[in-house]
Amino acid sequence: MTKGKASNVFFSFLTPAWCLRLLPVIFFFVSFVTYYCSYAIIQSYAGTSKSVNSSKSLCGGWLTEKKWESLNFNVSRQTQLFLKLDDFFWREHRSKLALPYGVKGSEPQLLKVLAITNYEVPASIENLECRTCVVIGNGFAIKNTSLGDIINKYDVVIRLNNSPVKGYEEDVGNKTTMRFFYPESASSNPGLNNEPGTLMVLVPFKPQDLRWLKEILYNEKRVRKGFWKPPPQIWLGDVGQIRVLDPHFLHQTEEKLLRIPLNPKSKQYPVHPTTGILAIFVALNYCDVVHIAGFGYPNSKNIKHPIHYYGYDTMKSMKHSHHDLNHEAEALKRLEDSGAILSLHPHL
């Protein structure tokens, strides 16, 4: 057979009909190669010790530092949340302000408290590549939302004061990683509405708050003066789970987030951030994704409108509140508009 004839025979096979017959073979070959490569990649990751965050889907494309910088707080993120004895007196916390924005004058009480309390966060949270957090406010807006199962899936669930969980699980979930409180909002038995590993985070607003904790920890005689509401005289919680929040966070919440000038010489009764807005600012520092639920006071002028998802307090009880709720509402809106936080339900 001549060269020319051989060429003609070869190209005769490349008719449209023959091409169609070859398609299944080509498809099988490509599929096999793709599967083999994918399997090899998966096996290579499986051999590493690096854990994969179960909530990673919420973190896609989230550039934490850039998001933080876009907020224009003019302050660095701080991920060490709690005061510790090792570096308190020598380096980082020589405060010029008294409580609640510093610890000047409260050092003797604090020394004894920090001597027997811890400052660490569990390694299971600390070592996550991406921390997803939800801050649960106590507002009426979370009632009948059925968010419980969704809330339980976050890495960190922060709750406030003495807000109950039992009986409200369908709306608020039952997972609690941290609970922010102060003496007047403390429960004598934290185990009733918290998990065994819940970190009980004291937010000290005044020297008496540290004194109360010292008396509890050392089983000293209780002094009841100096509180607007009698705090528990017996505390049945686990001492190993107590943490003391760094006053730095309350100071920066007031100054950078709420933008209320601090005037220590003012004769007016001091206006402090609520525990809720403070917890959000803490979460922005510590977490990569911050969602909220249960925030927002009713717009209704009806003073009988309930303000919590539990209990019987109404808008009337907010009349003499020493919080600037308008500033807080504006701050939350700025955070939501910037994409720094996301509310899991509409505000009232």
Q: What does the pLDDT look like over 174-223, one tens digit per residue?
A: 999 999 999 999 999 999 999 999 999 999 999 999 999 999 999 999 99
pLDDT score recorded for residue 326 = 80
Whether the model clears a pTM of 0.85, i.e. scores above it, the answer is: no
Q: Are 110 and 88 in contact (CB under 8 A)?
A: yes
Q: Following DSSP, what letter does each residue of 160-177 receive, concatenated? A: ETT---TT-HHHH-S--S
Angle between helices 275-286 and 325-338 (to 10 degrees): 30
Q: Are 132 and 55 in contact (CB under 8 A)?
A: yes
pLDDT score recorded for residue 61 = 59
> Is 135 strand, coil or helix?
strand
pLDDT score recorded for residue 59 = 78
Q: Following DSSP, what letter does each residue of 262-312 receive, concatenated? A: P-TT--SPP----HHHHHHHHHHHH-SEEEEES--------TTSB-BSSSS
Distance between CA 344 and CA 203 in Å, rounded? 26
What is the CATH architecture assignment of 62-343? Alpha-Beta Complex (3.90)
Q: Are 92 and 99 in contact (CB under 8 A)?
A: no
Strand 289-293 and strand 132-136: the pairing is parallel
Per-residue pLDDT of the chain (348 residues), as tens digits, is 544 444 444 344 445 554 445 555 454 444 443 333 333 322 332 333 333 344 556 776 556 777 888 888 999 999 999 999 987 766 555 688 999 999 999 999 999 999 999 999 999 999 998 999 999 999 999 999 999 999 999 999 999 999 999 999 999 999 999 999 999 999 999 999 999 999 999 999 999 999 999 999 999 999 999 999 999 999 999 999 999 999 999 999 999 999 887 665 554 556 789 999 999 999 999 999 999 999 986 665 677 788 899 998 877 666 656 667 788 989 999 999 999 999 999 875
- R_g over Cα of the chain: 28
Q: Residue 217's closest CA among 120, 122, 110, 121?
A: 110
Domain coordinates of the chain in residue numbers? Answer: 3-46, 62-343
Q: Are 143 and 307 in contact (CB under 8 A)?
A: no
Distance between CA 287 and CA 244 in Å, rounded? 18
